[in-house]
């Protein structure tokens, strides 16, 4: 009769190349998630802008879209709604979704000050609001890398 005792086998430690590869894969997942959110934001702008125009026009308030303050907030809302829906679909919790939503609005809110002081115009508000949104998103993602680099 054979003695069948289970001996635990240790998994070999990952090699340097395997460890580097897993970091690279995580960075790819992180970058892919970032790109997915940017696409979702673009879809939100394209799909929801006509809805806002229809509703505001019906209410006689179409000028709100042309006001730089309200127009930029409406655009940020369009992007946030679509990006939040995508994040929820991907299984994210509400807190990271709210943090990412804040990253959509924060650049515009900060730029309202130089706009009010006439240091920038409405075009610069829209340009820089969108440009600064990307690093704001990256910061929100870097606060929780495990949230964005998962399978």
- Residue 1 has a pLDDT of 52
Q: Inform me whether the pLDDT recorded for 9 exceeds 80.
A: no
The ranges assigned to domains in the chain are: 26-148
Query: For residue range 85-125, what is the model confidence (pLDDT) as tens digits?
Result: 999 999 999 999 999 999 999 999 999 999 999 999 999 99
pTM as predicted: 0.77
Which DSSP string do the residues of 128-145 spell out, in sequence order? Answer: HHHHHHHHHHHHHHHHSH
Q: Inform me whether the pLDDT recorded for 11 exceeds 70.
A: no
- Residue 29 has a pLDDT of 86
Q: Inform me whether the pLDDT recorded for 135 exceeds 70.
A: yes
Which residues lie below 8 Å from residue 138, measured CB to CB, with a gap of 6+? 34
Q: Give the residue among 50, 64, 45 at the shortest CA–CA distance from 133.
A: 45
Angle, CA 106 vertex, CA 63 and CA 116 arms, to 5°: 50
- Residue 115 has a pLDDT of 98
- Residue 105 has a pLDDT of 97
């Amino acid at each position: 009769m054979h003695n069948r005792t289970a001996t635990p086998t240790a998994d070999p430690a990952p090699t340097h190349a395997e460890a580097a590869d897993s970091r690279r894969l995580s960075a790819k997942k992180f970058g892919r998630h970032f790109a997915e959110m940017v696409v979702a934001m673009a879809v939100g702008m394209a799909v929801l802008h006509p809805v806002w125009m229809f509703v505001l026009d019906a209410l006689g308030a179409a000028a709100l879209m042309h006001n730089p303050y309200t127009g930029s907030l409406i655009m940020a809302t369009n992007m946030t709604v679509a990006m939040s829906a995508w994040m929820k679909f991907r299984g994210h919790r509400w807190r990271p979704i709210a943090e990412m939503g804040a990253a959509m609005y924060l650049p515009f809110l900060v730029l309202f000050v130089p706009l009010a002081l006439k240091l920038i115009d409405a075009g610069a508000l829209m340009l820089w609001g969108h440009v600064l949104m990307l690093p704001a998103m990256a910061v929100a993602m870097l606060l929780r890398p495990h949230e964005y680099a998962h399978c």
